[in-house]
Structure 1
């Protein structure tokens, strides 16, 4: 837990203005978080803290690489991370997470720890499909329609002048009966 103490920011003594911080997160950071999503990594975070009367705005720019395991080959590879995110900490009577980007914190909070925000924003920036870079060219350049993988396409179905989909002849016969 001492590793995460480096991410504490004392907000009690801060004046109402803008502050800048830089953090480097390495393998010890990811190990201290007690999680299995990212085993290793090396990321740099530039944090701009803007304190006002009613809230604290955190603008984070996170760059670096994290180790991932390919879903296809199970090979480990380094995934690039480059994301900019904003977190708002509003002063209130209790602690509560209002949304992904807005949290209430008690007015008498002395320090905030930004390690959790950094980790969450790294996770959000990673692709859902973890693919080793050597497989990405295969998937990115392929047209699903040419490979017979087309599941649904709505733009070509509209063939009539009135933007009506083509009618099955069986339904057309039933509509004639209904029109009479």
Structure 2
């Protein structure tokens, strides 16, 4: 996938020192990926990139407001996201990922596209349960759903206990 030009960093010509970058985040970045959780938003990303002979340390400071759809009312609302993330890029023989925060790129790579990293950091910060701010206070008042069967309730009332549970209770007491 071809990224946006303003998110391309020419790392080949960077010196071995600390470099500062600033990127504007808007709808174009958020809509660039299919089936995106977030399609509207705006904000800023400040990137500190420290380059050495063998690797680069990238530190992202992202401050963005994204538009989410409430799971309860289907109303849209602005959700602020402020986060700091770090990434290590090592130079090597081939392109691959060592872990979530360490990747390896070829030694002769001229540019890197940070748009995908920024997009991933933002989408991972979106909560699983998206509630409009007007419902946040009422969320704590709702009872938790707990499943019980009728047999368990009647057994407790009659004083009967499943013999399998009795055997497990005996094991629990031994140490």
User: TM-score, normalised to structure 1's length?
Assistant: 0.77
Distance 1:60 1:43 in 2: 13
Q: Which residue does the alignment assign to 1:54? A: 54
Q: Is the 8 A contact 1:3 1:28 kept in 2?
A: no
Question: Is the partner of 2:59 in helix, strand or coil?
Answer: strand
Q: 1:93 to 1:74 in 2, by over 3 A?
A: same
Q: What pairs with 1:1-180 in structure 2 (closer than 5 Å)?
A: 4-139=4-139, 141-142=140-141, 147=143, 149=145, 168=161
Indicate the RMSD between aligned Cα atoms, in angstroms: 2.7
CA deviation string 1:130-178 (max 9, x = no partner): 1111111111x43x7xx36457xxxxxxxxxxxxxxxx595769x99xx
Gap regions ≥5 residues in structure 1? 152-167
Gap regions ≥5 residues in structure 2? 148-160, 171-175
Question: Is the partner of 1:82 in helix, strand or coil?
Answer: strand
**Aligned length, in residue pairs:** 156
User: TM-score, normalised to structure 2's length?
Assistant: 0.79
Distance 2:144 2:76 in 1: 31
